[in-house]
Amino acid sequence: MVRAVADRTFLPVKSLLEQVGDMMILTGKTISSAVRPPFPYGGEFVQQFLFVLRLCWLPLVISNLAFNYGAPGLQAGNFLSLFGALDRHGGFFILAAMRENGPFITGIILAGVAGTAITADLGARKIREELDALQVLGVDPVKNLVVPRFLALMVTTGLFNAFAMCFGILGGLLATLTFQAPPGPFIATLLTNAAIPDLWGSMIKTTIFGAIIAIVACYKGMTASGGPEGVGRAVNTGVVIAVTAVFFFNYVFTQTLLGTHPEILILR
Amino acid sequence: MRTWLVDKPRDGIAAVGEMAKFFGTVLGEVFGGRVFRFFGEALRQCGVLILGSTLVIWTLTFILGLTCGIEGAYFFRSVGAPAYSGVFTAWCNLRELTPYAFGYMLSAKVGTGLVAEIGAMRITDEVDALEVMGISSMTFLCGTRLLAAFLVFPVMYVGALGAGFFGSYLAVVQQIAEVSSGGFFLIFWMFQNPVDLIFSTIKGYMMAIVVVLVGLYYGYTAGGGPVGVGTATAKSMVLNLVAVHLIGAMGTQVFWGASPRAPIGG
């Protein structure tokens, strides 16, 4: 009885910890084989980069526009217009679009769209035993498959963040226009409140999101098992882990950035 | 030239039509009452949802509540009114981020899970086997799962809101610690009311139902072997995320676009 209860409680925890450890090992292997010559992954990197770009741009643009129109745009606009301070709306978008929403929507979209596609791709190769075949041929799967995806996702997530911020701010501008306010004060307060630490913080944050998503997706794909159901299940658990990890990292990073750079909090 | 000008849009419109037809059929199964023949199976699906997904969803809303809390506390400290952090956290949690977090985690956990499960049944011909045995697969597989979603999600959503509130409380009162517990809750409860809760629940509920329907559609129509299930799972995620964001923005526009519903002014 006690044994059964203990098994039910601790076995999932144990397997979770084991998986996290395995992912850490995979991260280490990926980084070390990325910097160590030879570098055979150039072509695959470009291919994956374009693949992610083609897959994600439309969901990313729509999602950012919609989210920032609704959440910070209308709600904060409502709040500010109660005080007759709608001209301050732009300043709020540094907090909203640049520091929080832009990065985390980019992370969610990349995890949901590119991460799942990568897991499905690698998982299908795993259960058709193509990965084992590669190893028999003397081709290292980490160097030839994981490293290009890792680098491609890091670069694209960082670059997409720029577009996420642009379209987020556009969404806010649309919200300002629906309040029949002129767009000039919005842009003026936006630019006076913008600070450099916010920008690089946002970029670094999304780049690390990309690394997390790539490692989780590749790990789950490469350890898929159990036939056709296995691939689907790998995609399912992979995206859950990736989303949770992205949000958790987001909290830690925001806290660190705000704690270490108090000057970005001053309203100008 | 011709392919992306004529064929692609036509295929897209055809796919939307197929999807709408499927959604109509599944909703008909539930509201037509046919699904109640398999009420036991629906209850079992409720159990699967509760045991499998609740904790993950509450964890995510809790983390987002923490993020809302620190952003709100730091923002209101910068305008010199830390006691009013409750305004930000109340609106951030109740009106926006909990519905979104609920939608994200449902599409990640429940949506892709449905595609993987039903897709695997489809390509191993289990769905056809059900039909041969004289059981309507549409009712037994899709209807019961949708009914389970209808039953479970409101309760799960209110629990998720609670997790988010708790996260915000921890972040603002215990972590940043610039406002007393009583002061925080005074403002926090003042800036929300039961109608807001109902609006927010409707928003989260709409997202959840769309996510479940999309998952059922992609699972039921999966094909092309093991690879097909994987790609269908990935594809369902794209549609789910876009739908969640569009429903979120539309909900905000409809429910709070015209009136802020705040205890300020006349």
Output the CA angle B44-B50-B51, nearest 5 degrees: 90
- Closest-CA distance, B113 to chain A, in angstroms, reads 6
Residue B141's nearest CA partner among B128, B151, B154 is B128
Q: What local confidence, expressed as pLDDT, does residue B263 receive?
A: 82
* pLDDT at residue B23 tops 90: yes
Give the mean pLDDT of B2-6.
75
| Neighbouring C-alpha atoms within 13 Å toward the C-beta of B178 | 17
Residue B249's nearest CA partner among A81, A112, A174, A206 is A174
- Closest-CA distance, B33 to chain A, in angstroms, reads 31
* pLDDT, greater one: A218 or A55: A218
Q: pLDDT-based confidence at B40, cuts 50/70/90?
A: very high
| A60-116 pLDDT, tens digit each | 999 999 999 988 888 888 888 888 888 888 888 888 888 888 998 999 999 999 999
* pLDDT, greater one: B243 or A7: B243
Query: What residues of A are in contact with residue B101 (Cβ under 8 Å)?
Result: 247
Number of A to B CB contacts under 8 A, please give it. 180
Which of helix, strand or coil describes residue B213? Answer: helix
Q: What local confidence, expressed as pLDDT, does residue B1 receive?
A: 58
* pLDDT at residue B198 tops 60: yes
Q: pLDDT-based confidence at B225, cuts 50/70/90?
A: confident
- Token pair, residue B232, equals 């269908």
CA distance B167 to B109: 21
Q: pLDDT-based confidence at A266, cuts 50/70/90?
A: confident
Q: What is the ipTM for the molecules in this complex?
A: 0.89
Q: Mark B83-100 as b/e (b = at least 16 C-beta within 10 Å).
A: ebbbbbbbbbbbbbbbbb
- Closest-CA distance, A227 to chain B, in angstroms, reads 7
Q: What local confidence, expressed as pLDDT, does residue B200 receive?
A: 93
Q: What is the DSSP letter of B32?
A: T
Query: What residues of A are in contact with residue B84 (Cβ under 8 Å)?
Result: none
Query: What residues of A are in contact with residue B123 (Cβ under 8 Å)?
Result: 228
Q: What local confidence, expressed as pLDDT, does residue B266 receive?
A: 56
Give the mean pLDDT of B174-183.
89
Q: pLDDT-based confidence at A150, cuts 50/70/90?
A: very high
User: What's the burial of A233, exposed, middle or buried (CB within 10 Å: 0-12/13-18/19+)?
Assistant: buried
Query: What residues of A are in contact with residue B242 (Cβ under 8 Å)?
Result: 59, 62-63
Give the mean pLDDT of B153-174.
94
Q: pLDDT-based confidence at A258, cuts 50/70/90?
A: confident
CA distance B227 to A231: 8
B202 near A CB under 8 A: no
Q: How far is CA A188 from CA A178, A193, B75, in A?
A: 18, 9, 19
Q: How far is CA A220 from CA A16, A132, A138, B223, in A?
A: 13, 16, 22, 22
Q: What local confidence, expressed as pLDDT, does residue A67 receive?
A: 92
Q: What local confidence, expressed as pLDDT, does residue B61 receive?
A: 93
pTM recorded for the entire structure: 0.91
For tokens 């769905």, the residue is: B127
pLDDT above 70: percentage of residues in chain B: 98
